[in-house]
Chain A
Amino acid sequence: MLKVKDLKVRYGMIEAIKGISFEVDDSEIVTLIGANGAGKTTTMHTISGLIKAASGSIELDGRDITKLPAHKIVEMGIAQCPERRRVFAQQSVEDNLFLGAYTRKDKDEIRKDLENVYELFPRLKERSTQMAGTLSGGEQQMLAMGRALMAKPKIMLLDEPSMGLSPLLVREIFDIIKNINSQGVTILLVEQNAKMALSIANRAYVIETGRIVMSGTGEELLNSEDIKKAYLGG
Chain B
Amino acid sequence: MTFLTYLISGLALGSVYAIIALGYTMVYGIAKMLNFAHGDIIMVGGYAAFFAFNKFGLSPVVSILASILVCTLLGVIIERLAYKPLRQASSLSVLITAIGVSYFLQNGSQLIFGSDTKIFPAMLMEGSLKLFDGRLMISYLTLFTIFTCVVIMTVLTLFINKTKIGKAMRACAEDKGAAQLMGINVDTTISITFAIGSGLAAVAAILLCSTYPSLSPTLGSMPGIKAFTAAVFGGIGSIPGALLGGLLLGIIENLTKAYISTQLSDAIVFTVLIIVLLIKPTGLLGKKENVKV
In contact, B289 and A71 (Cβ under 8 angstroms): no
Looking at the complex, which of A81-89, A173-181, A192-200, A217-225 is the stretch in contact with chain B? A81-89
Are the C-beta atoms of B292 and A140 separated by less than 8 Å? yes
Complex interface: chain B residues within 8 A of A135 (CB):
292
Q: Are B181 and A70 in contact (CB under 8 A)?
A: yes
- Report the minimum CB–CB distance from B146 to chain A (whole Å): 29
Query: Which A residues are CB-close (under 8 A) to B183?
Result: 70-71, 74-75, 102-103, 151
Q: A69-B185, A133-B291 are in contact. Are A90 and B178 (CB under 8 A)?
A: no
Q: Give the interface residue-count category, chain A.
A: 20 to 34
Of B180, B181, B182, B291, the contact of A89 (CB 8 Å cutoff): B291
Question: Does A215 have its Cβ within 8 Å of any Cβ on chain B?
Answer: no
- Could you say which of B91-99, B165-173, B197-205, B262-270 contacts chain A? B165-173
For B154, the chain A residues whose CB sits under 8 A away are none
Q: Which chain B residue lies CB-closest to A79?
A: B181
Q: With A90-B170, A91-B167, A135-B292 in contact, is A82–B182 under 8 Å at CB?
A: no
Q: Return the chain B residue nearest A78 by Cβ.
A: B181
Kindly state the separation between the CA atoms of A49 and B291 in the bound complex, as whole angstroms.
25
The digit string for B159-201, where 1 denotes a CB below 8 A from any CB of A, is: 0000010011011001101111111111000000000000000
Which residues of A are found within 8 Å of B290, using beta-carbon distances?
133
Please indicate the chain B residues that have their CB under 8 angstroms from the CB of A136 in the complex: 292
The residue in chain B whose Cβ has the minimal distance to the Cβ of A45 is: B177
A88 with B168: CB separation less than 8 A: no
Q: Report if B293 contacts A (CB, 8 A).
A: yes
Nearest-neighbour CB distance to chain B for A24, whole angstroms, equals 18
Report the separation of the CA atoms of residues A137 and B291 in the bound assembly, to the nearest whole angstrom: 10
Binding site for A on B (CB under 8 A): 164, 167-168, 170-171, 174-175, 177-186, 287, 289-293
Residues of chain A whose beta carbon lies under 8 Å from any beta carbon of chain B: 48-50, 69-71, 74-75, 79-80, 82, 84, 86-91, 95, 98-100, 102-103, 133, 135-137, 140, 147-148, 151, 164
